[in-house]
Amino acid sequence: MKIARFSRIGFILAAAGSAVGLGNIWKFPYIAGEYGGGAFVLVYLFTVLLIGFSIMIAEMLIGYLGRRDTVTSFEELAPVNKHLWKFGGFQALAGLFIMIFYSVVIGWILHYIVTSLTTLPANVKEAEATFTYMLHSDIWTQLLYHTISFVWITYILTKGIKGGIEKMNLVLMPMLMIILAGMFLYATTLGAFSQAVEFMFSPDWSKIDSNAFVVAVGHAFFTLSLGMGAIMTYSASMEKGSNLVKNAFWVVFLDTSIAIVAGLMLFTFLYQYGSGPAKGPGLVFISLPAAFYEMGILGNVFAVLFFIALAFAGLTSSVSLVEPMVQYFIDRFSWSRLRASILMGLFFYLVGIVALLSNIDDYKELLTWGGKNFFDWVDYVTAAIMLPVGGFIMAVFVGFIMPKEQIESVMKPQLKWAFDTWYFSLRYITPVAMFVVLLSLMGVI
């Protein structure tokens, strides 16, 4: 059977689509300002190059050489203890678990596209009341858009690598970049643009501490879609002779550039028309709609465009979160793509309803334990445990388990003089960094 392969541009856009998600369009700008602005940006870029880039190449290498699903790739590439190392491939479960709440959040965004077409909240207080009502009381609206999200993602998955994932990214990723670029260019004409630049890039080294480094490593890892099998699965469909280093560079470049452009654009609007930055969901669903309202009819246009761009980012990421487990069942159990896609889709959809209900006032107490509701627990377990563990496993596997000669045969011609630096980082810096991040996110240190 002929296996579908990504074209080079198709792989880069698919991998970038996986990396560019909801988090790095609003989370990166905020934490940059919170941890020293330009100082944090420099620390972040350093961690991306030293740790994120190293892990991305390692994950691509496993997928590229394994040419199968994540579990089979680990199993076939392990020279010894294959029966144990295959379990490293189950990091793909992290993406499927993330989709439990990710699909719900995409539903919120789809809802806001529709509402932005009509009436925007007149102020922050009204915007907060609107979002709070939807989150804690409006089951049916959330369920409707969660269902639309599930149907869209599952449909794309059923169409496969070439007909679904690559085709979607060839359309949505350029459209995402065009929308953000257009809004960014408008933002540069506003007086508050210089204030946004200062907020994100003015270095305040007094805010850089050990926690800032941990946050930088953790965010670099999460925003690049590492440790969940997505990049590995996509890399298994790269064309033979592909340059992993160049592909990884373009994915990192696009991911970081979009985060910076989105941040400057968002904070310009907030400073020009709103009350300043807010954290997390409050930035996108509360402060920003109120700022768009102050722009008049242009605000409705920008609100619709922004939430469409955000939906594109979420949808391209979502497909990559589920595809590793779809490919696992196709490879290991000879399931049809249709069957694997529908069953994986039904998993995150049905469990996602539980996550949705855990935010609803009438069900919150029943679905809350240990100080977190079910929605927050899924978020915590995936971000604080599964992703760092996945990264640690990949670094150890490539750095210590795979034969160095096998790695050199592929990577040395591509990295040239930088090969030894990359290999050293992968063996001795990245595993330690991921272990520290894991302990920090779990609250141990």
Cβ atoms of 64 and 238 closer than 8 Å: yes
pLDDT of the residue at 18? 74
Task: From 339, 308, 148, 340, select the one nearest 233 (Cα to Cα).
Answer: 340
pLDDT of the residue at 5? 67
Per-residue pLDDT tens digits for 258-281: 888 888 888 898 888 866 665 566
Using DSSP's 3-state secondary structure scheme, residue 3 falls into: coil
pLDDT of the residue at 141? 97
pLDDT of the residue at 398? 96
Per-residue pLDDT tens digits for 11-36: 777 777 777 777 777 678 778 777 87
Question: Measured between alpha carbons, how far is 216 from 213 in angstroms, rounded to an integer?
Answer: 5
Question: Measured between alpha carbons, how far is 281 from 92 in angstroms, rounded to an integer?
Answer: 26
Task: From 445, 440, 40, 443, select the one nearest 214 (Cα to Cα).
Answer: 440
Residue 1 lies in a domain: no
pLDDT of the residue at 211? 80
Amino acid at the residue 316: T
Tally the residues of the chain: 445
Residue 249 lies in a domain: yes
Residue 3 lies in a domain: no
Quote the domain boundaries for residue 347: 8-441
Count of other CB atoms within 10 angstroms of residue 241 = 5
Using DSSP's 3-state secondary structure scheme, residue 2 falls into: coil
Give the count of domains, the chain: 1
Count of other CB atoms within 10 angstroms of residue 380 = 14
The CA–CA distances, whole Å, from 165 to 43, 155, 161, 282, 283 equal: 33, 10, 5, 31, 30
Beta bridge partners of 369: 372
Count of other CB atoms within 10 angstroms of residue 12 = 22
Please enumerate in sequence order all residues whose Cβ is within 8 A of that of 191, keeping only pairs 6 or more positions apart, or say none: 272
pLDDT of the residue at 279? 58
pLDDT of the residue at 280? 60
- Can you list the residues of the chain whose pLDDT is less than 70? 1-6, 26, 274-282
For residue 119, what is the domain's CATH number? Answer: 1.10.4160
Task: From 216, 165, 173, select the one nearest 45 (Cα to Cα).
Answer: 216
Residue 2 lies in a domain: no
pLDDT of the residue at 82? 94
